[in-house]
């Protein structure tokens, strides 16, 4: 399993509604120290927020890169960095949707059931520019899809019916006081991440 770079600084997570979350991110073109620092900050922020994935636009950076660390066994686990991802999901008769609870660090504290393909793979490059491919089922498949969607300007509420979306927003509003504008700055890093 790949490990994520340590030593980053926790940054505030941008909330749904911010334009950076609702447009496609720019491709990563420079694999330099600035990108390495960004990736370390993304990992630190993801862990502080107790998440399993985080896209750069979720901390306000318009670049096509995400980090992830999904606990589990075999195809349900993995960690890594993906720049300029291309998502692959089953199509046709091979496509099976699984309904599972999903949340987003950019709408913290709210969860609803969302149907997604049961398997996913992502191709791209890591922070050094080396080719990578990550694939899995379960939470890992959901995470790879969720973070790839972020980089194309899609939040998972875009996949929900109006009724379910309203329930999600109502739940987020009920817990909003628990997540100040600079969250998760000041939060204690989690031992085990849980939310994409």
Q: Which of 29, 34, 88, 147 is catalytic?
A: 147
If you compute the radius of gyration of the chain from its CA atoms, what whole number of angstroms results? Answer: 16
**29 given a catalytic annotation:** no
Distance between CA atoms of 31 and 42, rounded to whole angstroms? 15
Main-chain phi, psi angles of 184, to 5 degrees: -100, 25
Closest CA to 169 of 114, 100, 112, 102: 112
Place of tokens 């050094």: 128
Distances (CA, A) of 26 to 36, 46, 84, 153, 158: 17, 21, 9, 11, 21
Catalytic positions, written as ranges: 147
């Amino acid at each position: 399993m790949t490990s994520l770079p340590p030593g980053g600084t926790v940054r505030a997570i941008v909330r749904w509604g911010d334009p950076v979350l609702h447009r496609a991110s720019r491709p990563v073109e420079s694999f330099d120290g600035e990108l390495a620092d960004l990736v370390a900050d993304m990992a630190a922020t993801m862990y502080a927020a107790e998440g399993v994935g985080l896209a750069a636009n979720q901390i306000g950076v318009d670049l096509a890169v995400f980090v992830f660390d999904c606990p589990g066994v075999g195809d349900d686990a993995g960690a890594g960095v993906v720049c300029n991802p291309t998502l692959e999901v089953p199509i046709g008769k091979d496509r099976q949707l699984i309904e599972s609870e999903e949340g987003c660090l950019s709408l913290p504290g709210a969860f609803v059931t969302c149907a997604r393909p049961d398997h996913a793979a992502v191709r791209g490059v890591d922070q050094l520019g080396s080719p990578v491919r990550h694939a899995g089922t379960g939470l890992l498949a959901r995470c790879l899809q969720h973070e790839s969607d972020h980089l194309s300007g899609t939040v998972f509420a875009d996949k929900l019916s109006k009724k379910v979306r309203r329930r999600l927003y109502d739940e987020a509003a009920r817990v909003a006081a628990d997540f100040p504008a600079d969250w998760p700055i000041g939060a204690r890093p989690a031992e085990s991440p849980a939310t994409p």
